[in-house]
Amino acid sequence: DAMVIQNPRYQVTQFGKPVTLSCSQTLNHNVMYWYQQKSSQAPKLLFHYYDKDFNNEADTPDNFQSRRPNTSFCFLDIRSPGLGDAAMYLCATSRGLAGGGQETQYFGPGTRLLVL
Protein backbone atom coordinates (compact mmCIF):
# COMPACT_ATOMS: atom_id res chain seq x y z
CA ASP A 1 0.00 0.00 0.00
CA ALA A 2 1.13 3.52 -0.74
CA MET A 3 2.10 5.26 2.43
CA VAL A 4 4.27 7.64 4.41
CA ILE A 5 7.06 5.88 6.25
CA GLN A 6 9.06 7.17 9.18
CA ASN A 7 11.90 5.22 10.69
CA PRO A 8 12.84 4.71 13.38
CA ARG A 9 9.71 5.10 15.51
CA TYR A 10 11.90 6.06 18.47
CA GLN A 11 15.20 7.95 18.33
CA VAL A 12 17.46 8.72 21.26
CA THR A 13 20.15 11.37 21.01
CA GLN A 14 22.39 13.27 23.37
CA PHE A 15 22.14 16.92 24.20
CA GLY A 16 23.92 18.85 21.46
CA LYS A 17 24.56 15.84 19.23
CA PRO A 18 23.21 16.28 15.70
CA VAL A 19 20.40 13.97 14.73
CA THR A 20 18.58 13.27 11.47
CA LEU A 21 15.06 11.97 11.15
CA SER A 22 13.92 10.44 7.89
CA CYS A 23 10.68 10.24 5.99
CA SER A 24 9.85 8.49 2.75
CA GLN A 25 6.68 8.30 0.71
CA THR A 26 5.36 6.03 -2.00
CA LEU A 27 2.49 8.36 -2.91
CA ASN A 28 4.53 10.44 -5.38
CA HIS A 29 3.19 13.60 -3.77
CA ASN A 30 4.66 17.00 -4.54
CA VAL A 31 4.46 18.41 -1.02
CA MET A 32 6.15 17.09 2.10
CA TYR A 33 5.73 18.59 5.57
CA TRP A 34 7.43 18.30 8.92
CA TYR A 35 5.48 18.90 12.13
CA GLN A 36 6.65 18.94 15.73
CA GLN A 37 4.27 17.67 18.40
CA LYS A 38 5.21 18.07 22.03
CA SER A 39 3.53 16.11 24.76
CA SER A 40 -0.19 16.89 25.11
CA GLN A 41 -0.01 19.58 22.43
CA ALA A 42 -1.28 19.79 18.87
CA PRO A 43 1.10 19.29 15.92
CA LYS A 44 2.91 22.45 14.85
CA LEU A 45 4.20 22.93 11.31
CA LEU A 46 7.97 23.48 11.07
CA PHE A 47 8.41 23.70 7.30
CA HIS A 48 7.38 22.13 4.03
CA TYR A 49 8.69 21.43 0.56
CA TYR A 50 6.64 22.04 -2.54
CA ASP A 51 8.67 19.90 -4.91
CA LYS A 52 12.16 21.36 -4.40
CA ASP A 53 10.99 24.68 -3.02
CA PHE A 54 11.61 24.96 0.69
CA ASN A 55 9.19 26.96 2.84
CA ASN A 56 10.12 27.70 6.43
CA GLU A 57 7.59 28.74 9.05
CA ALA A 58 8.52 32.10 10.56
CA ASP A 59 8.93 30.79 14.10
CA THR A 60 10.86 27.60 13.29
CA PRO A 61 14.22 27.76 15.09
CA ASP A 62 17.41 27.86 13.00
CA ASN A 63 18.45 24.67 14.77
CA PHE A 64 16.03 22.81 12.52
CA GLN A 65 16.93 22.20 8.89
CA SER A 66 15.51 20.01 6.19
CA ARG A 67 16.63 18.30 3.00
CA ARG A 68 14.67 16.77 0.18
CA PRO A 69 17.04 14.99 -2.18
CA ASN A 70 14.27 13.56 -4.34
CA THR A 71 10.49 13.24 -4.49
CA SER A 72 10.36 10.25 -2.18
CA PHE A 73 12.60 11.29 0.69
CA CYS A 74 12.70 14.17 3.12
CA PHE A 75 14.98 14.59 6.14
CA LEU A 76 14.76 16.66 9.28
CA ASP A 77 18.12 17.67 10.71
CA ILE A 78 18.43 18.99 14.25
CA ARG A 79 21.88 20.50 14.49
CA SER A 80 22.21 20.79 18.25
CA PRO A 81 19.28 19.18 20.03
CA GLY A 82 18.25 20.64 23.35
CA LEU A 83 16.07 19.08 25.99
CA GLY A 84 13.18 21.18 24.71
CA ASP A 85 13.38 19.51 21.31
CA ALA A 86 12.16 16.20 22.69
CA ALA A 87 8.91 15.60 20.86
CA MET A 88 7.10 13.53 18.27
CA TYR A 89 8.12 14.56 14.76
CA LEU A 90 5.50 13.93 12.12
CA CYS A 91 6.02 13.83 8.38
CA ALA A 92 3.11 14.37 6.03
CA THR A 93 2.52 14.61 2.30
CA SER A 94 -0.07 16.06 -0.03
CA ARG A 95 -0.45 16.16 -3.79
CA GLY A 96 0.05 19.90 -4.21
CA LEU A 97 -2.48 20.27 -6.98
CA ALA A 98 -1.79 23.08 -9.42
CA GLY A 99 -4.62 25.61 -9.46
CA GLY A 100 -5.75 24.80 -5.96
CA GLY A 101 -8.35 22.22 -5.18
CA GLN A 102 -9.14 20.31 -2.08
CA GLU A 103 -6.27 18.39 -0.64
CA THR A 104 -5.79 16.07 2.24
CA GLN A 105 -2.57 15.41 4.08
CA TYR A 106 -1.31 11.91 4.71
CA PHE A 107 0.70 11.52 7.87
CA GLY A 108 3.36 9.04 8.83
CA PRO A 109 3.37 7.35 12.24
CA GLY A 110 5.93 9.80 13.60
CA THR A 111 9.34 9.49 15.21
CA ARG A 112 9.51 10.14 18.93
CA LEU A 113 12.76 11.90 19.77
CA LEU A 114 14.28 11.64 23.22
CA VAL A 115 17.14 13.96 24.14
CA LEU A 116 19.35 12.85 27.03
Q: Which residues bind another protein (CB under 8 A)?
A: 4, 30-31, 33, 42-45, 48, 50, 53, 55, 90, 92, 94, 96-110
Nearer to another protein, 28 or 80 (CB): 28
| Cβ proximity to another protein, 15 vs 54, nearer residue | 54
Q: Which residues are within 8 A (CB) of 33 and not within 5 positions of it... i.e. 6 or more apart?
A: 45, 47, 48, 49, 91, 92, 93, 94, 105
Nearer Cβ to another protein, position 53 or 79? 53
Q: What is the CA radius of gyration of the chain?
A: 14
| In the complex, least distance from residue 25 CB atom to another protein, rounded to whole angstroms | 12
